[in-house]
Structures are given as C-alpha cells and as structure tokens.
Amino acid sequence: MLGGKVAGLAFVIELEFLKGRSRLNGYDVFSLLKYES
C-alpha cells in the first residue's frame, strides 16, 4: 500500500436518524444537507 490517509469525508445528504456520523468517529465529516426525521 502507498500509505495514504483519509483527510475527511463529504456527503451531499446526511440522514441524521441513521446515526452514521457516530460510526465515522475519528474522521472529519462534511455534509451539504442534513435531514432529520
């Protein structure tokens, strides 16, 4: 492997009720739209 690192994650829509952000702990997460249910 080349030894690259993930700098961050970007999403168009974040579905907050799925709690995906908590599963991506340790990464910078950016989303354009957030949807709550």
Does 1 have pLDDT greater than 90?
no
Per-residue pLDDT, 37: 84
Q: What is the pTM of this model?
A: 0.73
Share the mean pLDDT of the chain.
95
Per-residue pLDDT, 36: 94
Strand partners, 31: 11
Domain borders along the chain are: 1-37
The rounded distance, in Å, linking the Cα atoms of 23 and 9 is 12
Per-residue pLDDT, 25: 93
Q: What's the rounded mean pLDDT across residues 2-20?
A: 96
